[in-house]
Amino acid sequence: MQKKYFSETGNWYKGNLHSHTVNSDGHFTPAQAINAYRQHGYSFICFSEHDYYTDLRKEFDRGDFLILPGVEASALLLNEDKSRMLKTHHIHGILGTQEMQQAAGDQLIQHGKRLMPPAYVGKWEGLQTAQKLSDSLRKMGCFTTYNHPSWSRVDAEEICGLEDIWAIEVFNYGTEVECGEGYNTVFWDRMLAAGKRINCFASDDNHNPNRFFDSFGGYVVVRSEELSHEAIVSHLLAGDYYSSAGPEIYQFGIDGDEVFVECSNVACIHFICGGYVGCSETVNRYGVTLKKAFHKLDGTEKYVRIECVNEQGRRAFTNPIYL
């Protein structure tokens, strides 16, 4: 019996879920960012300013482009003399569905709300701090993500126990071009191995400084029947999308005792499984382009996720299939 994980109807909509403008520490105005991303084929963007929630839908929404209101909330761990930051949590709150907004009641987050980042000196309870930050955003009608754990210098134990986090940022283009710390799949697999059901996303985290270029390198592509806030957010929450730094994924799923994927031309395909040592597999024809691949399951796997890698080393990621 075959099960496909993407809807077979609807359109594909490309978006950047992590972006900064002059409203925090970015260099583009919102209008400049929107113009740049529209010209590069994007259909939506989340302005996730540091500890400052903005809702610019009335000003900038149009038929072919959406603003997803959001905020990147933070918590800090400083050294003893407060001269350096040892660790930080950055957690997105993205405005949720109508049902989530209604459930928030009078706590619903509003345009212009500023958050006060908690700061700790010398030590902190890392997991509890992150959970409290996420919970506070969810109470305000948002769904949450954990951003760039490698760059943030956190330990796996400080995030693996998180509850009710929608996704982890597995690829951050901005931190990749800034300092080579863009990939976070090890943290994701640790969370999945611990039994957490958590999706992934790729993003730019663009600030658009002069010294490097950090736009158009990480994104999500959502399968949706329409381009509206309710539809895009609902499909994100349902996992009806893929994350990418280049390759396209057209479909993936299970066919009998095999996992399959169909994609654009790539050099190799990784089937990464939760289970015994050696249960994962890379399909590589060494010089022969791949457009699809299969991996046979042995029945012991807890989950499987797929990465499609092109000749430039750029990856696309599926969300997990739980077994």
pLDDT digits (tens, 9 = 90+) for 197-231: 999 999 999 999 989 999 999 999 999 999 999 99
Across the range 8-17, mean pLDDT stands at 97
pLDDT bucket at 287, cuts 50 / 70 / 90 = confident
What's the angle, vertex CA 223, arms to CA 142 and CA 176, rounded to 5?
Answer: 70
Q: What is the mean pLDDT of the chain?
A: 97
What's this model's pTM, rounded to 2 decimal places?
0.96
CA atoms within 13 A on the CB side of 234: 12
Q: What is the pLDDT of residues 229-268, one digit of tens each?
A: 999 999 999 999 999 999 999 999 999 999 999 999 999 9
Across the range 280-304, mean pLDDT stands at 95
pLDDT at 320: 98
For residue 47, the enclosing domain spans 10-245
Residues 240 and 287 in one domain: no
In a domain, 292, yes or no: yes
Across the range 275-285, mean pLDDT stands at 95
pLDDT at 81: 95
Enumerate the β-bridge partners of residue 119. 76
pLDDT bucket at 285, cuts 50 / 70 / 90 = confident
Residue 155 has pLDDT above 90, yes or no: yes
Beta-strand ranges (E) seen in the chain are 2-4, 11-19, 44-47, 66-78, 85-95, 119-121, 142-146, 167-172, 199-203, 219-224, 241-244, 249-255, 258-266, 268-274, 281-284, 290-296, 303-309, 315-317, 321-322
Residues 142 and 285 in one domain: no
Residues 173 and 288 in one domain: no
In a domain, 5, yes or no: no
pLDDT at 301: 95
Across the range 114-118, mean pLDDT stands at 97
Q: Which of 229, 245, 261 is the last residue of a domain?
A: 245
Residues 208 and 63 in one domain: yes
Across the range 115-128, mean pLDDT stands at 97
Q: What is the pLDDT of residues 27-41, one digit of tens each?
A: 999 999 999 999 999
pLDDT at 27: 97
pLDDT bucket at 1, cuts 50 / 70 / 90 = confident
Q: Which of 245, 261, 282 is the last residue of a domain?
A: 245
Q: In total, how many domains does the chain have?
A: 2
Q: Which of 245, 265, 292 is the last residue of a domain?
A: 245
